Chain A
Amino acid sequence: MAKGTVFKYGDNVDTDVIIPARYLNAPSPEELAKHCMEDIDAAYAVSVKPGDIVVGGWNFGCGSSREHAPIAIQASGAACVIAASFARIFYRNAINIGFPILECPEAAQAISNGDTVSVDFASGRIVDETTGQTFQANGFPPFIEEIIAHGGLLKYLKARQDGREA
């Protein structure tokens, strides 16, 4: 479960604005978080609170493969990203690092900046508590759910490797 204030952005939010390349030379999560969203919303990094929710439109996270992008959002304190759709590398990266993402075009369109939104990750249910609207995010295939349950791809693979060698 997560509940927080929404930071809403438009379509095609690219990884260059999520975390500009000029900051990739210092890839610690804490450093990346300081500059998250800087080039589209300078206020984000200083005003986001733990549990807040980022909402984007279509093709969220397009562009570069930099995993620094979901790392920056995660380290900024945001609980998850809700978007109409995700660019595929960002989608993989978020799942691989165990950062929750929810694909839900209806929620992405209806939710407004500043709304209070709660998310139940287990069921994919999204509630806009400001407007009272509820939404259902698309589910994940079982294989991906297993990665998420392990807390990310590497923990999942290590558990499997250790299992094989045991």
Chain B
Amino acid sequence: MGMTMTQKILAAHAGLDHVKTGDLIEAKLDLVMGNDITTPVAITQFDKTGFTRVFDPEKIAIILDHYTPCKDIKSAQLCCQAREFAHRFHISHLYDVGNVGIEHALVPEKGLAAPGDMIIGADSHTCTYGALGAFSTGVGSTDMAAGMAMGENWFKVPSAIQVVLKGSLQPYVSGKDVILHLIGLIGVDGALYQSLEFTGEGVSSLSMDDRFTVANMAIEAGAKNGIFPVDEKTLDYIRDRVQRPYTVYEADPDAEYTRQVIIDLDTLEPTVSMPHLPSNTKTIGEAAGLPIQQAVIGSCTNGRISDLRAAAEILKGRRVAENVRCIVIPATQSIYLQAIHEGLVDIFVNAGCAVSTPTCGPCLGGHMGVMWEGERAVTTTNRNFVGRMGHVGSEVVLASPAVAAASAVAGCLTDPVTLMKGE
């Protein structure tokens, strides 16, 4: 029996010729990552256990992105603890305010993730780097501490669901719609303990930014990882970023999949996830008209340059509705700069948006857009659980940047196709 793409990467990092579903392996890590919430807990565990060295200071990334610039005294303490640890062990990849981006946009941008890599991050959306043909998965703080100390960790070899993309994405439809549609089809635990392996001719119509968005939300279907084949677009993306050898893996032709899901991109419509589960999906046609008070365009899911371009196309020459706050958060400093150079920030500010320095901020109800009871936001983020963006009585609707921007203009959930045709 052949191996899936994920299984091949796991086998190679465990020093094995072959692995099969259910095997417990110990695998070497190419990168261990954490943020300002999870790293301090890992440090406390690391020190308490009595570890006195890290396996490789070049292969650890500490990214202070969630509550930064620090929102309060307690979060300032967490960042100080993370900085001290990074300095103590000469960790080269410490990203701090002014230099930081949202971790899952920053890691690929800095060339810290490459095809064939084995990566763990103490953040559930670490699965994002599967877009580059890497195995990457979210873990907790103790796993991060173990990874930092040992350079390896234990894994159970997952089975896989094959997701076949057919056709090509239509105007105002994006990677976000692909992944929300998929989660709606299979549910929030539809891929529990499994890989989501994306394949098919439709993959080529997805930009790298779209692929990052899709892989990013694999966790919202319960998946261990989401992974894309490596093609010309991947190689173009990493060409000037990755400065070390890497390996491109392909699934064996006889790899076994527990299930195949086919998504027809030609007919895919803009899709939203209604409160309070990412699987609670509707097409924008079904959901249109629901009033909103806030729109958030950003996050590790949708804060990349093509996301900002999609939002700006709709917001150009228009105004955010009177009763709506629209918050735009470029995911990294270089995306922010590019948005300035392309005139996107002008468009956002002229439309009445608040534009923020990179931060996870409102996505997890941290800061920069926390909601009160009864308020509803349309957001390009990844979770719409109870209380996710603030008060337990507030609501989050997940959507693409185009849908969020169109809805911000109209003041209610709105199909960008309708908005753009109607004027």
Q: Contact residues of A with B, CB < 8 Å?
A: 12, 14, 16-17, 20-22, 24-27, 39-40, 58-59, 62-68, 71, 85, 87-89, 92-93, 96-97, 141, 143-144, 152-155, 157-158, 161
Residue pair A12, B386 in contact (C-beta under 8 Å): no
Smallest CB–CB gap between A101 and chain B, Å? 13
- List B274-320 residues whose CB lies under 8 Å from chain A: 277
Residue pair B138, A141 in contact (C-beta under 8 Å): no
State which of A20, A21, A59, A157 has its C-beta within 8 Å of the C-beta of B222.
Answer: A59
The bracket for how many chain B residues form the interface is 35 or more
**How far apart are the CA atoms of A153 and B146 in the complex, in Å?**
8
Residue pair A26, B192 in contact (C-beta under 8 Å): no
State which of B24, B139, B385 has its C-beta within 8 Å of the C-beta of A14.
Answer: B385
State which of A25, A97, A141, A161 has its C-beta within 8 Å of the C-beta of B142.
Answer: A97
Check A16/B383 contact, CB under 8 A, given A59-B189, A65-B122.
yes
Q: Which of B45-53, B92-100, B252-260 contacts A (4 or more CB under 8 A)?
A: B45-53
**How far apart are the CA atoms of A25 and B141 in the complex, in Å?**
14
Contact with A along B34-73 (1 / 0, CB 8 A): 0001101100111011110000000000000001000110
Residue pair A16, B193 in contact (C-beta under 8 Å): no
Given A20-B387, A63-B124, A143-B154, 20 more A-B residue pairs with CB atoms under 8 Å apart are: A12-B189, A17-B387, A22-B365, A26-B74, A27-B44, A27-B78, A40-B386, A59-B188, A62-B189, A67-B41, A67-B140, A88-B192, A89-B124, A92-B143, A93-B143, A96-B140, A157-B49, A157-B146, A158-B51, A161-B150
Contact with A along B155-199 (1 / 0, CB 8 A): 000000000000000000000000000000000110011000000
Residue pair A88, B386 in contact (C-beta under 8 Å): no
Q: Specify the chain A residue showing the minimal Cβ separation from B45.
A: A154
B75 close to A (CB within 8 Å): yes
- List B112-128 residues whose CB lies under 8 Å from chain A: 122-124, 126
Residue pair B385, A16 in contact (C-beta under 8 Å): yes
Residue pair A65, B146 in contact (C-beta under 8 Å): no
B388 close to A (CB within 8 Å): yes
Residue pair B140, A92 in contact (C-beta under 8 Å): yes
Check A24/B146 contact, CB under 8 A, given A59-B192, A63-B385, A143-B154.
no
Residues of B close to A96: CB separation below 8 A: 140, 142-143, 146
B364 close to A (CB within 8 Å): yes
Residue pair B224, A88 in contact (C-beta under 8 Å): yes
Residues of A close to B388: CB separation below 8 A: 16, 21
**How far apart are the CA atoms of A130 and B328 in the complex, in Å?**
54
Q: Contact residues of B with A, CB < 8 Å?
A: 24, 37-38, 40-41, 44-46, 48-51, 67, 71-72, 74-75, 78, 122-124, 126, 138-143, 145-146, 149-150, 154, 188-189, 192-193, 219, 222, 224, 277, 364-366, 383, 385-388, 392
Residue pair B141, A67 in contact (C-beta under 8 Å): yes
State which of B24, B67, B123 has its C-beta within 8 Å of the C-beta of A25.
Answer: B67
Residues of A close to B139: CB separation below 8 A: 65, 89, 92-93
Q: Specify the chain B residue showing the minimal Cβ separation from A20.
A: B387
Q: Specify the chain A residue showing the minimal Cβ separation from B158.
A: A88
Residues of A close to B37: CB separation below 8 A: 21, 24-25, 27, 66, 68
Q: Specify the chain B residue showing the minimal Cβ separation from A11.
A: B189
**How far apart are the CA atoms of A162 and B67 in the complex, in Å?**
37
Check A153/B74 contact, CB under 8 A, given A21-B366, A39-B392, A88-B192.
no
**How far apart are the CA atoms of A37 and B123 in the complex, in Å?**
21
Check A88/B143 contact, CB under 8 A, given A20-B387, A25-B74.
no
Q: Specify the chain A residue showing the minimal Cβ separation from B71.
A: A25
Q: Specify the chain A residue showing the minimal Cβ separation from B26.
A: A143
Residues of A close to B222: CB separation below 8 A: 59, 62, 87-88
**How far apart are the CA atoms of A14 and B146 in the complex, in Å?**
25
Residues of B close to A20: CB separation below 8 A: 365, 387
Smallest CB–CB gap between A105 and chain B, Å? 13
Smallest CB–CB gap between A54 and chain B, Å? 17
> Can you pick out 21 interface pairs between chain A and chain B where the beta carbons lie within 8 Å of each other?
A16-B385, A16-B388, A17-B385, A21-B37, A25-B67, A27-B41, A27-B44, A59-B188, A62-B188, A63-B383, A64-B124, A67-B38, A67-B122, A67-B142, A71-B41, A87-B189, A92-B140, A93-B139, A154-B145, A157-B149, A158-B51
